Amino acid sequence: MMRRFSSTAVSVFDRQLKRRQREFALQLSTSYYEYLREESNGNIVDRLDDINKSFPIALELGSYRGDMYRRISSESQNHKYHSNGGLVGGILELIQTDIAEFALKGSRVDGSDSNTDDRKIINDTNHPAVKTSKLSFDEEGVFPFEDRSFDLVLSSLSLHWINDLPSALLQIKRVLKPDGAFIGSMFGGNTLKELRHCFYLAELERRGGFSPHASPLAKSSDIAGLMQDAGFNLPTIDIDTITVSYPDAISLMEHLVCMGEGSASINRQFAVGRDTFLSMASIYQQLYGLDDGSVRATFEIIYIIGWRPDASQPKACQRGSAKQSMRDALGNEQPT
């Protein structure tokens, strides 16, 4: 039975703008700007490969160019297939979804480019051992899947644009089978901290005030709390901080646009002004310039693993149930 979730969450992001931004980036005939997604996809696949369990039916939220699927296929070719004949993680069937319909058109087997209904599934046969299909829908809406439909849900650098993340996590748990896993990643609060700082200083100098130019992002502590509130068991949160160098601050902003990661805040500043941009770039060079003349930018990626509860999962022992004291276990050693 499909269940609907109601929410009173405040809208922070313009989802229609984000759809258009992703559509624009997807239409670029290059994967040159996909280095952060490639890093994220690789780390997610590594985490999946470390789990000694099969996930026959999997869902991917925010498949973008389909690089996660290709990474899983590539890793599967580098070593023997999973014991059940599937890809890494024992995946036998994968449904790829994205808010941007162009993401699904890019790899159609029939070569057509006609419009599709938002919930039309397009079959694909890229790998003989795995059945794949594609579905366009907004993760912020109701997931068009029945309860307990999937063994695994994957998401790489997509969920940080969700207005109502608590409801999205609840729906991810809803569509997971008992003992099913959610493995995902999203940008964290320290991402682009240099750019935020420089815009702040530039606008104070030029306009005497400040308006947001980078979208707000969650902290790892926030995500840990949301995972627990959503009812996931054994939640694991870890952080990877990546520093990338760019020729200058303007080049950094160009890369963000070509990644589809431009600001989508509803209260964003529309008219910034050339003088403010030039001031920001100059301040960025002064504060965060490197010896070779380039500038650095920080990207914080939060990785998430959570499990839908099941009776087979390990449980913590009850408090006071230990049969040996710590003193006895340490051989009566006294601290020095």
CATH superfamily membership of 15-190+217-242+299-310: Vaccinia Virus protein VP39 (3.40.50.150)
Among 11-15, 147-151, 241-245, the least confident range? 11-15
Q: Which of 11-20, 106-115, 170-179, 252-261 has the lowest mean pLDDT?
A: 106-115
The two tokens of residue 286 are: 């002064």
CA distance from start to end of the chain:
60
Burial of 24 (0-12, 13-18, 19+ CB in 10 A): middle
Higher-pLDDT residue of 211, 265: 265
- Count Cα neighbours of 87 within 13 Å in the Cβ-side half-sphere: 25
Q: Cα separation of 223 and 244, whole Å?
A: 24
pLDDT beyond 50 at 113: no
Average pLDDT of the chain is 83
Query: pLDDT tens digit string along 240-270?
Result: 999 999 999 999 999 999 999 998 888 776 6
Q: Does residue 153 surpass a pLDDT of 60?
A: yes
**Higher-confidence position of 127 and 224:** 224
Residue 82: its pLDDT value, please? 60
Calpha distance 172→230 (Å, rounded) = 9
- In this prediction, residues 264-286 reach a mean pLDDT of 85
Q: Tell me: the pLDDT tens digits for 14-58?
A: 999 999 999 999 999 888 999 999 999 999 999 999 998 999 999
Q: What is residue 87's predicted lDDT score, i.e. its pLDDT?
A: 74
pLDDT for 211 equals: 63
Question: pLDDT-based confidence at 143, cuts 50/70/90?
Answer: very high
| Residue 8: pLDDT over 60 | no
